[in-house]
Structure 1
Amino acid sequence: MTDALKHARRIVVKVGSSLVTNEGRGVDAEAIGTWCRQLAALSRQGKEVIMVSSGAIAEGMKRLGWASRPKELHELQAAAAVGQMGLVQMYESKLSEHGIGSAQVLLTHADLADRERYLNARSTLLTLLGLHVIPVINENDTVVNDEIKFGDNDTLGALVANLVEADALVILTDQRGLYSADPRKNPDARFIDVAQAGDPVLEQMAGGAGSGVGTGGMITKILAAKRAAGSGASTVIAWGREPDVLLRLAQGESIGTALLAGTAKLAARKQWMADHLQLRGAVTVDDGAAIKLRDEGKSLLPIGVVGVEGDFHRGDVIAVRTAAGVEIARGLANYASTEARLIARKASSQIEALLGFTNEPELIHRDNLVLTGSAAPALQG
């Protein structure tokens, strides 16, 4: 557990509605200020942090004077729209007190299921992190429907961890961590300090929703940890009001429940890509580009592409082939096939002049590329 957070460079922190809104009483300025102070300190230590925050609907309910969570979809969306104003203002003001910039990012699960929007969201978040800005992410409850009914920000936190290839996911909740049974009902419940993410036994231990404010419960956190582990990120579930919880975790202290990923981050991501990618087209590369991909682990630049096949869009999966027709890799294209044909054999510095814009300097970034066939090495962490 200590290594999971102590050596993590990129961390996603998710905090639940009951904590953010002090059990539905409205945005808790003191609590958010405490977390923002810790986020700022982690940023100054050179760590990249992303906050996934619930609380928009609960804050909207408070501002609208509603005592109980509405059931009608349009009322939930209205509450989210009203509450989001206060939520983002609070994070912005508290982070700015520590000289840290912030950015609001609203996502839905559909954004991360669509490959082009996936790449756009990933590029935006990585750019913000590179600018030392802390993204504050919430689900776009104002426009979605099934996410409000069935979704939760625990899952969103895990999806964001996968999106940015985080080293760790920290889920702050109103419980100390995971118990073998509900400690409020069973005095013999045993606290779980550490376990393997994805262990089926954990799902049997987890109960239903623990709060009337949010939509999640311990089961959603267990499933989120399992999802995050799919890309190699370990998860810690801890009490959000534990003093300096984020700073102490980053120092290696054992707090809460650690659910460890069984596969190293790089190997997990490459395996995920190898298992999920379906081809939409292909590019042929020259010998120099093939060597850089196969032997040096480089990205595929447009200048190394000598041919483009098929009709694909940004974010689609394409094959990379040698002049002899041998597939050596697959990856997510940063440009559509029509654009790829225009920039093939050209330097990356010419992309903007040729297309009028630049998505990325690479046709396929090495993080979104996996070697295949005889070119693929054994998956290692």
Structure 2
Amino acid sequence: MTQGDAVGELSVARAAVRSARRVVVKIGSSALTSMEGGIQGERLDALADAVEARMRAGSDLVVVSSGAIGAGLAPLGLSRRPKDLATKQAAASVGQLALAHAWGTSFARYGRVVGQVLLSAGDFGRREHHRNAQRTLDRLRSLHAVAVVNENDTVATEEIRFGDNDRLAALVAHLVGADALVLLSDVDGLYDGDPRKGAAKFIPEVRSSADLDGVIAGSGGALGTGGMASKLSAARLAADGGVPVLLAAADDAAAALTDAGVGTAFAAAPERLSARKFWVRYAADSRGSVVLDEGAVRAVAHRRRSLLAAGITRVTGTFFGGDVVDLCAPDGRLVARGVVEYDSVELESMIGKSTVHLPDGMQRPVVHADDLVKV
């Protein structure tokens, strides 16, 4: 089945993308760069045209742009994407400058100013950095500038990187309170297999995990680190947090950003996570873990109750009040995450004790229900 045959009437998810006031648009490396010639100006201009048209229609847009490493290959005389970290960082340092200039030049045709925002995984993991990034992006939008976000590849290590800009885009969508996320790349939507390798069924809508039964998603190509697996993961991350997603081809950017009648639409969860709870669940660095007994697991994971000291059996790691910790079942399964009220040393002395047997000042919940998110 082809995309044209499968995409029918406007669904709830497509209608949400079409009418979204605040949109994050992620553009893949293959849509902007080539191995031989670096940045492809005409393709970038066409994407800027589509973004500008949506902004003139009344939406606020943030662009998450891949392509920094790809843009740096040709100027450095590299014939393929490097595998070692130092060369990747060198290519990114050249490519980020070229990419920012290319976006700036393209949007200058419309009198738009571009602001580059480079983020690392640590910026999302630390609450203060997270808020600073949020304020910067909000201010750029209020000044009618186009924020172009990319991962800060020049300083990121393999251990602390997002892994791909699809996940970055999903996190940015929640960071700015977006009403929709549009993922644009070299694929025209989600299929149950690789359409390049034979018959594959196009999936126009993903309303629940049941629609993904039997789907086989592959890894990235020569220029990027993503691939369908990362796009699917990012789409589900955003949608599970309450943001509808449209996955489409960069060549269909104009249609994706007008009537949303192309690609695969992912329906958002009925209840959107608050920015704080989304941060706790998906973005914050965990500083330790707390093991719960079965009763506490039921209270926390199924009844959305606060975690009390009486339900704790073990504490691991070194953390302080205000840090995010993992909440685990007796068998080690992660069941929730939350902002802890006490440091690890204090908590060790509280394990298994009823609230009435704790001293004054230590009778608050260990993790309040408002700061707790099931995973």
* Cα separation, 2, equivalents of 1:34 and 1:81: 25
1:254 aligns with 2:265: no
* Cα separation, 2, equivalents of 1:75 and 1:183: 33
Alpha carbons of structure 1 residues 270 and 115: separation in structure 2 relative to 1, 3 Å: closer
1:151 aligns with 2:136: no
SS, match of residue 184 in structure 1:
helix
Q: Which amino acid aligns with 1:167?
A: D
1:141 aligns with 2:148: no
Give, in angstroms, the shift of residue 251 of structure 1.
Answer: 3.4
* Cα separation, 2, equivalents of 1:271 and 1:124: 21
For 2:191, which of 165, 171, 179 is the aligned residue? 179
Q: Which amino acid aligns with 1:212?
A: A
Q: Which amino acid aligns with 1:219?
A: A
Contact 1:232–1:269 (CA under 8 A) maintained in structure 2: no
Gaps of 5+ in 2: 1-12, 286-319, 325-337, 340-367, 371-375
Contact 1:232–1:261 (CA under 8 A) maintained in structure 2: yes
Give, in angstroms, the shift of residue 275 of structure 1.
Answer: 7.1
For 1:214, which of 206, 221, 224 is the aligned residue? 224
- Aligned counterparts, 1:1-381, within 5 A: 1-22=13-34, 25-146=37-158, 151-187=163-199, 189-196=200-207, 199=209, 202=212, 205-242=215-252, 245-246=253-254, 248-265=255-272, 269=275, 272=278
Give, in angstroms, the shift of residue 207 of structure 1.
Answer: 2.3
Q: Which amino acid aligns with 1:193?
A: P
Give, in angstroms, the shift of residue 270 of structure 1.
Answer: 7.1
Report how many aligned residue pairs link the two structures: 285
Give, in angstroms, the shift of residue 18 of structure 1.
Answer: 1.0
Alpha carbons of structure 1 residues 24 and 264: separation in structure 2 relative to 1, 3 Å: farther
Alpha carbons of structure 1 residues 108 and 211: separation in structure 2 relative to 1, 3 Å: same
Q: Which amino acid aligns with 1:261?
A: A
Q: Which amino acid aligns with 1:15?
A: I
* Cα separation, 2, equivalents of 1:70 and 1:173: 21
Once the two structures are superposed, what CA deviation does each residue of 1:82-108 show, in whole Å capped at 9, x if it has no partner? 111110000001001111121000001
Q: Which amino acid aligns with 2:103?
A: Y
Give, in angstroms, the shift of residue 200 of structure 1.
Answer: 6.5
Give, in angstroms, the shift of residue 316 of structure 1.
Answer: 7.6
* Cα separation, 1, equivalents of 2:28 and 2:44: 11
Partner of 1:304: none
* Cα separation, 1, equivalents of 2:21 and 2:246: 15
Give, in angstroms, the shift of residue 264 of structure 1.
Answer: 4.2
Contact 2:35–2:79 (CA under 8 A) maintained in structure 1: no
Alpha carbons of structure 1 residues 9 and 264: separation in structure 2 relative to 1, 3 Å: farther
Contact 2:23–2:181 (CA under 8 A) maintained in structure 1: yes
* Cα separation, 1, equivalents of 2:274 and 2:223: 35
Alpha carbons of structure 1 residues 275 and 101: separation in structure 2 relative to 1, 3 Å: closer
| TM-score where L is the length of structure 1 | 0.68
SS, match of residue 182 in structure 2:
strand
After superposing the two structures, state which structure 1 stretch, 227-236 or 163-172, moved more. 227-236
* Cα separation, 2, equivalents of 1:111 and 1:274: 13
Alpha carbons of structure 1 residues 166 and 67: separation in structure 2 relative to 1, 3 Å: same
Give, in angstroms, the shift of residue 122 of structure 1.
Answer: 0.3
Give, in angstroms, the shift of residue 166 of structure 1.
Answer: 0.7
| TM-score where L is the length of structure 2 | 0.69
Give, in angstroms, the shift of residue 177 of structure 1.
Answer: 0.7
* Cα separation, 1, equivalents of 2:323 and 2:42: 44
Contact 1:24–1:213 (CA under 8 A) maintained in structure 2: no
Q: Which amino acid aligns with 2:222?
A: G
* Cα separation, 2, equivalents of 1:216 and 1:162: 20
* Cα separation, 1, equivalents of 2:280 and 2:39: 43
Q: Which amino acid aligns with 1:217?
A: G
